[in-house]
Amino acid sequence: MRGRLADSLVTFTPISKDGNLFYYNIKQNLIILNGELTFNGKEYNLNEFTVSSDSGRGVWPLKSGWVWRMQMEKPLKETL
């Protein structure tokens, strides 16, 4: 598979004043892939297939909440 990388959003969020609690995140939305994928014995054509990547790490308090939303405007032709 080959793809065009989209712009990235990188955040570092301190959660505590002493720096012991934090969250680091990188998001890449609207990555366009071209190629083929075989999954469970079925082959999928991924020409102009839109994906996203979201990864992060950090140290959170034991009790915390999470809010995240992402929207892609290009409709998918098929669900894997």
- For residues 45 and 11, the answer to whether their CB atoms sit within 8 Å is no
Write the pLDDT tens digit of every residue in 11-60: 998 988 998 999 999 988 778 878 888 999 999 887 877 778 888 899 98
Band of the pLDDT at 78, cuts 50, 70, 90? low
What is the structure's pLDDT at 76? 59
Structure tokens at 46: 């991924």
Q: Phi and psi (nearest 5°) for 58?
A: 165, -170
C-alpha distances (whole Å) from 19 to each of 16, 59, 60 are: 5, 10, 11
pLDDT greater than 80 at residue 8: yes
Q: Is the pTM of this model over 0.75?
A: no
